Structure 1
Amino acid sequence: MLETRSNLLLPERNSRFENHERLLVAAVEHVLTGAAGNQTVVITGGPGAGKTATGVELVHRIGRHFSDGSLFFEFSGDAEQPESISQVLRWALAELGVPAEEIPDLPSALRSKYRAVTADKSLIVFLDGVVSDSQVRALRPGPGASLLLVTEARAVTPVDAEGVRLFVVEPLDEAAALRVLAGIVGADRVGAESAAAVEIVRLCGCLPLALSIVGSMIRRAALRTRAPLADTATRLRDERRHRSVLSLNMVFGAAYGALTEPARRCYRVLGLRSHGGVVSPSSVAAVLGAPEYEVEEWLIELADNHLIQATDDRYGVRELVARHSRDIDERASSEREAEEARLLRYYDERIAAADELLAPLRPWRRLLFSDNGGAPRFFDAGQARTWLSAERRCVRAAAEYAFDAGQWDLVVRWCVLLWPFHEKEKFLDDLLDLHRLGIEAARNSANTLAEGVLHLQLGFARYWLREFDSAASAFTTAIGLTDNIELVASAYEGLGLAQLAAGDIEQARISLRHNEQLARRIDDPRRIALAVFHRAKAEAADIALPLLEESFAGFSALSVDETENLAKVRYWRGRKLAERDEIDSAVVELELALEVMSVRRRSFDQAEICTVLAEIAGRRADLGAASARFEQAIAIYANLGLDDLANRAREECERLTR
């Protein structure tokens, strides 16, 4: 049944009220400068975000402007029953001084009486935690100069109606949440355990209600331990114990209970561990086996009730919401595991389809996996890259879940299939994290060929990070794991490039020449073109330029699009021409390469070309052009997180322009 509390006396102000001053200033201005007649202000926001405290603070600030006082109603429970709404109206009429014998019995008569009694008055009617528009309609005062103030437990109030203004209580920031916690447990205690305090506000999602609940637990913990915040943080962190510290149903239970059944199905999906805190209509549809357009409507319902946050075409899921979803999910574990499996399959199909578009000629997929085709999911490579970029966080979480579940082959597969994307976009943190799991997964499944491929890929990541010793070690490990000639050749290629970048030119020539020999034994035209190209990097200009001509001809003869590799050949041809002081010809090649890499969004390659063009401009004493090119390179390196390369370019720029 509905529980309702009505009182002509407004609750006291919350002494720990924080961080919503901008909202309050706007709300006060709106109410006091609004048109004559009744007004409606709706305060909405996520569960536990501080809507009630904000409403109470607002009424205390404007109450003196409403001569007939205020009515306060606090709602919880089932508000949909007609008898419940009638009971609320009886409370309201009693509070307004109507004698009991004059309060009607019929619902329609109750509403008419309430509107008549409140007409021509200047009241604040504060409805806290409404879950039904019928509550709002029933308690809307009669014509006058009153304010109907509504805080919503779920999205119910029509905000497009005349005279209705919506204000959203945003989550506290971390600093404000720490002040709230300090107000509960004491600033000295928060200062003494600052790291634990920060962890607690994060584990509480910076929600005032959660902080209030946890704060009382900290004060109790202080009676038995000298480090109550650290003790509480440990208990909150452990999902098996957090219920003893924080009842998430107190925070989210009302909002969940007000959802439609389809939206509840969606809500239970939020508790899956393999989505990483981001879901989309297509991913949830794959889990539920429902049409995507229907799922979109259910997700909108969750977003309207502030249980998830809309971001473009996806939705963010707070950790507390995910935990609550798991808490209230009473289904058998096998059902949840089946949903996790469907979500992993969703990611796998799209990762495979993206790889088909991004790197169709890489040999490792054919070598390692029997199912070489992903169902067509994307129109082109650009759309595939956009999807992969948006799903980075999800894929990492899904890989961690798959690893913990012992699905070694899937983790290895994703390491291989995602490498072209990570390589081009230089998402090296993603690559390294995934490969730590993947290499262990390959060992666990005794798949030495796969382990070798992952060490090969890891070597290139270390190479891009300019960790040349680590790169050489990874390539050497790959060579020792298998006698597969394609893998060994690629590992010698990487080893030679690492040696060249480290300044060991003689060893680089040995490794890259050996790679070329293996490529000719394999007798694959594309591999030969690549091997000749890489060997040219380590050779003197007179030897390198004919090799680059051979490589250019080899790529040009292939039936697939090799535009980017042809641009790389031009880049190195420009470098070798510059070594021979053929500056004008070098600049032509470099500019052509830069044009292609800009169109193809090859950011790293753009930065490398700009650096060489800057050096050439410096040799010509064109310091303005040199500085401009260096600035381009520095910006790109910094954006990619390649701070070492950015600093090197910055130092060279400063040296030239002194």
Structure 2
Amino acid sequence: MNPSPQTPPAPQNSAAGPIHGLVQAGTVTGGIVIYGAAGPTPPPRQLPPASRAFVNRVTELAELSDALTHAGTAPWCPPAPALVVISGPGGAGKTALAARWAHEISGQFPDGHLYADLRGCSPSPSPAASEIMHRFSRALGATPAQISPDPEDRLALYRTLTSHRSLLIMLDDVASSRQIMPLMPASARSLVVATTRRERLGGLIGQDPHRLTVGPLPETEAIALLERLLGRRVNDERAAAEQLVQDCGGLPHALVAAAAHLSTRERSLTSLAMELAARTRTPERKPVNASRTGTVLDAAYAGLTSQGQRAYRRLAFHPGPRVASMSVQRILDVDAVEALRVTAELRSACLLQQAGGFYTIDTTVQEHARALAEHIDTAQAHAEAIERIVGWLLDAALTADLAAMPDRLRYTDRYQQAHTAGLVFETAADALDWLEETAAEIRAAAALALERGLHPEACAFAEAIRSLALYRRAYPVWDSVTDIALRAAQAMDDPGQLSRSAVARASYLVALRRYTEAADLLGIAVKNARNASDELSEASARQTLGTVYKRLGDDAGTHGRSRHFDEARKEYKAAARIFIAHARDRAVALTWRHAGELDLSARRYGSALEHLHRACDEFTELADTSNIGWTLVRIAETYLRKPSPRLVVAETRLGQAMEIAQAATHRPMQAQILGLLSEVAEARHEYSAAVGYQEQAAALLRELGHPDTVRAEARLRYLRIDPAGSAADPTDV
């Protein structure tokens, strides 16, 4: 291989090393290189920590362990994963019991422990089972290249990933069997533990679940819990402790909240018991949530500072289970020091829990906070709180998207204020990790924005998740957020926004190969962009429409002759004219590359080379090495496909591309290059070299979990047969 004397510039915005499952999206602008070796994924350990505020439940723990021992032993039970459903009222300690038992038996499930909070009874939207399945699949080692846009394929992948593993899966706060059934693993050596408030969770026919109902603690166990949390004070005020247990209804959650309240204030058990009794019996002091837990939470709330009370009521509207401290800062419009003081105050009252770099809100607590907010605050205060919460999550997501794909063409003006979220990401991979970890909150915030009429914000979320969708293949979130954005745009009198949201939705449909639907939506996008005199939105719609027509032509298999190719060519030319007029150089370069790839599919090799060389020159001016590399690969492929192949030129261009790919540890690009080098060697009748290159390509794709692995291995089998039909000499390989 003879690389050109002009060495391409060093890769920028790259994230190499042990980054699992990242792929280069070849049709994306942005000058980013995100990839890396797919190292072994350690078994996930996601169980929530066992609570220190846990006593006794000996009978329940024994029953659960006995159920596990005898799971599936009945002669009529086929081999299947065990399922345990723990039900009971809010605050009864279902999650604490499930977590304690899960930790006790975790050693029996060495291949991983998965956890998801389904938020079945939360005021905020519940995550879809497809979102949880995506998270579990990624935790079990699935790379983005393995994640299919087709829901049935994703289900098949999840079953494959779980079929040979012994897994413990905890599903917390389930509202219906529809949240359980898709997540059942395929291995009979696995266990699923679900908690629910539903007295009888139906729809589990065929699963033979073991059902356990959890109620209040007996008085002796409730007193033991208070002793563990408060020490000798309980014996000193035994009568008050017994009254406190009665006022709390024996519910562990209420008792823990009461103990937290007493621990942070210099007051006796007697005074708290008297206050709770007064709140229960005096009409003007009845709690807004009249449950036993609500009575205690009323007392905890009353003990907060005014700023703490304000934060508590505003967090009632927070979407998703996790809260960042910077979100609290934005919600209250205070500095970082005050935000940390308020979160510490809420934590000490057991109204927030620390979970890594985030805080979590218990469903029961959030219900109480929502009731208080509706009782105390005005509708305007609710709207302001929601706007601040949604605004911070949007700005944070936009910040991460900018870090992941810094040079992508963007349309929403909201990016200009994204820095106010206060987040900084050192690498593109860090930004993508944050987006993936926060996907549930982002999706819930977009839904909340649509519900509350924050339509511009709902639309902007579709742009904010673009990098997450492309690089991590987060199809469930991509589906939800682009659908929300389109509905929000349809509610606005803004044809330009409708055009942009239609393009975002169409991009998702293209990934699903639903080309006809995408083409119809893109036609609407072009029309609305013209009505709005929004030329850049029109260009984006036309560029995407060109890709749709190219895919339709490729699928038609007409050997390069297709009306779809003609339509695609027209759309690419129209998009390029607009991008040139607006000096959007990277978008112009990408459009030329698309046009070159179209001509390659249409077997118009001269035109393909013209467009591809033009694109390569533009990318070189922009120092966009990732796209330089991909364009060189396409140039080499064109020289190889010509009726009179120019093998030396093709090999030279592949050498240039390989320098870029190796410098950036870009393994997907390396695999494509090696596959084309194998074709070059085969065209020269150098069969041993062809096999060697193809072996390396197949090995790389296999390591990445890439869907092209099957095709690469099929070609390798073909190459191992010599022209005469006898097996190739393995010593030559």
TM-score of the two chains, using structure 1 as the length reference: 0.57
For residue 365 of structure 2, what is the aligned residue in structure 1? 321
For residue 596 of structure 2, what is the aligned residue in structure 1? 536
* Offset of residue 551 of structure 1: 1.5
Distance 1:564 1:415 in 2: 25
Distance 1:52 1:353 in 2: 36
1:331 paired with 2:376, answer yes
For residue 508 of structure 1, what is the aligned residue in structure 2? 565
For residue 340 of structure 2, what is the aligned residue in structure 1? 296
* Offset of residue 358 of structure 1: 5.3
Distance 1:181 1:454 in 2: 38
For the structure 1 residues 249 and 198, does the alpha-carbon distance in structure 2 shift closer, same or farther, using more than 3 Å as the test? farther
Q: Structure 2 counterpart of 1:501, which letter?
A: R
* Offset of residue 406 of structure 1: 1.3
1:404 paired with 2:460, answer no
Equivalent pair of 2:328/2:339 in contact (CA under 8 Å):
yes
Farther off after superposition, 380-389 or 311-320: 380-389
* Offset of residue 396 of structure 1: 1.4
Q: Deviations over 1:319-350 (max 9, x none)?
A: 34322332344422433332222212323433
Equivalent pair of 1:268/1:325 in contact (CA under 8 Å):
yes
Distance 1:312 1:53 in 2: 22
* Offset of residue 256 of structure 1: 4.3
* Offset of residue 364 of structure 1: 5.0
* Offset of residue 445 of structure 1: 0.8
Distance 1:171 1:267 in 2: 26
Distance 2:655 2:410 in 1: 36
Distance 1:623 1:255 in 2: 75
Distance 1:51 1:429 in 2: 27
**Alignment partner for residue 697 of structure 2, among 623, 629, 632?**
629
Q: Structure 2 counterpart of 1:555, which letter?
A: F
Distance 1:171 1:308 in 2: 20
Distance 1:625 1:304 in 2: 62
Q: Deviations over 1:545-568 (max 9, x none)?
A: 34322222122224xx53333233
Equivalent pair of 1:48/1:207 in contact (CA under 8 Å):
no
**Alignment partner for residue 613 of structure 1, among 651, 669, 674?**
674
Distance 2:592 2:195 in 1: 63
* Offset of residue 397 of structure 1: 1.2
What SS does the aligned partner of 2:638 have? Answer: helix
Distance 2:567 2:206 in 1: 55
For the structure 1 residues 542 and 207, does the alpha-carbon distance in structure 2 shift closer, same or farther, using more than 3 Å as the test? farther
Distance 2:523 2:437 in 1: 34
Distance 2:627 2:594 in 1: 11
Distance 1:477 1:323 in 2: 42
1:436 paired with 2:480, answer no
Identity of aligned residues (%): 15
What SS does the aligned partner of 2:359 have? Answer: strand
Equivalent pair of 1:571/1:593 in contact (CA under 8 Å):
no
Equivalent pair of 1:452/1:478 in contact (CA under 8 Å):
yes
Matches within 5 A, 1:17-416: 17=61, 48-49=92-93, 194=204, 208-209=214-215, 247=291, 249=293, 253=297, 256=300, 260-261=304-305, 266-273=311-318, 275-296=319-340, 298-299=342-343, 308-329=352-373, 330-334=375-379, 335-354=381-400, 364-365=410-411, 369=413, 372-375=416-419, 377-379=422-424, 382=428, 384-416=431-463
Equivalent pair of 2:589/2:616 in contact (CA under 8 Å):
yes
For the structure 1 residues 449 and 517, does the alpha-carbon distance in structure 2 shift closer, same or farther, using more than 3 Å as the test? closer
Q: Deviations over 1:482-538 (max 9, x none)?
A: 324433333332223233334154432542354235523643344432222211112
* Offset of residue 464 of structure 1: 3.1
Unaligned ranges ≥5, structure 1: 1-10, 23-45, 58-169, 217-242, 600-605, 639-645
Q: Structure 1 counterpart of 2:701, which letter?
A: A
**Alignment partner for residue 554 of structure 1, among 604, 618, 622?**
618
For residue 594 of structure 1, what is the aligned residue in structure 2? 661
Name the one with the larger helix percent.
Answer: 1
* Offset of residue 588 of structure 1: 1.7
1:584 paired with 2:651, answer yes
For the structure 1 residues 253 and 468, does the alpha-carbon distance in structure 2 shift closer, same or farther, using more than 3 Å as the test? same
1:571 paired with 2:633, answer yes
Aligned residues: 455
Q: Deviations over 1:39-58 (max 9, x none)?
A: xxxxxxx964379999xx9x
Distance 1:259 1:623 in 2: 74
Equivalent pair of 1:630/1:653 in contact (CA under 8 Å):
yes
Distance 1:408 1:13 in 2: 49
Farther off after superposition, 568-577 or 516-525: 516-525
What SS does the aligned partner of 1:482 have? Answer: helix
Distance 2:711 2:471 in 1: 26
Distance 2:577 2:203 in 1: 64
* Offset of residue 404 of structure 1: 0.5
* Offset of residue 403 of structure 1: 0.4
For the structure 1 residues 508 and 256, does the alpha-carbon distance in structure 2 shift closer, same or farther, using more than 3 Å as the test? farther
The RMSD of aligned alpha carbons is 4.9
Distance 1:199 1:282 in 2: 42
**Alignment partner for residue 472 of structure 1, among 519, 523, 533?**
519
Equivalent pair of 1:568/1:593 in contact (CA under 8 Å):
no
What SS does the aligned partner of 2:376 have? Answer: coil
TM-score of the two chains, using structure 2 as the length reference: 0.51
Equivalent pair of 1:571/1:609 in contact (CA under 8 Å):
no
What SS does the aligned partner of 1:315 have? Answer: strand
Distance 2:382 2:629 in 1: 49
For the structure 1 residues 625 and 557, does the alpha-carbon distance in structure 2 shift closer, same or farther, using more than 3 Å as the test? closer
For residue 496 of structure 1, what is the aligned residue in structure 2? 546
Equivalent pair of 2:394/2:442 in contact (CA under 8 Å):
no
The structure with the largest alpha-carbon Rg is 1
* Offset of residue 279 of structure 1: 0.3
Equivalent pair of 2:325/2:343 in contact (CA under 8 Å):
yes
What SS does the aligned partner of 1:276 have? Answer: coil
Q: Structure 2 counterpart of 1:656, which letter?
A: L
* Offset of residue 211 of structure 1: 12
Distance 2:665 2:56 in 1: 62
Equivalent pair of 1:19/1:172 in contact (CA under 8 Å):
no
Distance 1:362 1:267 in 2: 39
* Offset of residue 312 of structure 1: 2.6
For the structure 1 residues 548 and 589, does the alpha-carbon distance in structure 2 shift closer, same or farther, using more than 3 Å as the test? same
Equivalent pair of 1:575/1:586 in contact (CA under 8 Å):
no
What SS does the aligned partner of 1:16 have? Answer: helix
Q: Structure 2 counterpart of 1:519, which letter?
A: A
* Offset of residue 402 of structure 1: 1.0
**Structure with higher RCO (Cα < 8 A, 6+ apart):** 2
* Offset of residue 454 of structure 1: 2.0
1:427 paired with 2:471, answer no
Farther off after superposition, 250-259 or 336-345: 250-259
Q: Deviations over 1:228-253 (max 9, x none)?
A: xxxxxxxxxxxxxxx99994726974
Equivalent pair of 2:347/2:353 in contact (CA under 8 Å):
yes
What SS does the aligned partner of 2:458 have? Answer: helix
For the structure 1 residues 260 and 18, does the alpha-carbon distance in structure 2 shift closer, same or farther, using more than 3 Å as the test? farther
* Offset of residue 395 of structure 1: 1.8
Distance 1:12 1:370 in 2: 53
Distance 1:454 1:357 in 2: 22
Equivalent pair of 1:496/1:509 in contact (CA under 8 Å):
no
Distance 2:316 2:382 in 1: 9
Distance 1:577 1:345 in 2: 50
For the structure 1 residues 199 and 264, does the alpha-carbon distance in structure 2 shift closer, same or farther, using more than 3 Å as the test? farther
